[in-house]
């Protein structure tokens, strides 16, 4: 929770890298995190070598624990299943 007692939304995301690969992560601020992946040393080592990245998939989670569990699940999907999630997200 934040200091003003509001709940924080956690996000599970896929980024599409320049080499067409997908990177999964979690954050509370998706715009900040994408900027970090693209512009700073705060981005993951994986994405630093594959810039630029763009948002490919986004899903809300109630808390950090559920976001991390969901990230683990989607990270272990086959490439075809990951692409299916991205396709559904982009056609909403």
Q: Is residue 47 part of a domain?
A: yes
pLDDT band at residue 6 under the 50/70/90 scheme: low
The domain tally of the chain equals: 1
Domain span holding position 48: 10-90
Cis peptide before 52 (omega within 30 of 0): yes
Please give the model's pTM, rounded to 2 decimal places. 0.88
Q: Is residue 2 part of a domain?
A: no
Q: Is residue 3 part of a domain?
A: no
Note the pLDDT tens digit of each residue in 19-73.
999 999 999 999 999 999 999 889 999 999 999 999 999 999 999 999 999 999 9
Q: Is residue 78 part of a domain?
A: yes
Q: Rounded CA gap, 40 and 12, in Å?
A: 20
Q: Is residue 4 part of a domain?
A: no
Q: What's the CATH number where 61 sits?
A: 3.40.1440.10
């Amino acid at each position: 929770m934040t200091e003003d007692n509001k709940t924080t939304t956690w996000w599970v995301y896929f980024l599409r890298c320049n080499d067409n690969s997908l990177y999964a992560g979690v954050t509370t601020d998706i715009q900040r995190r994408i900027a970090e992946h693209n512009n700073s040393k705060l981005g993951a080592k994986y994405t630093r070598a594959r810039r630029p990245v763009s948002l490919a998939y986004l899903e809300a989670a109630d808390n950090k624990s559920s976001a991390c569990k969901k990230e683990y699940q989607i990270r272990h999907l086959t490439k075809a299943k990951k692409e299916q999630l991205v396709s559904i997200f982009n056609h909403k």
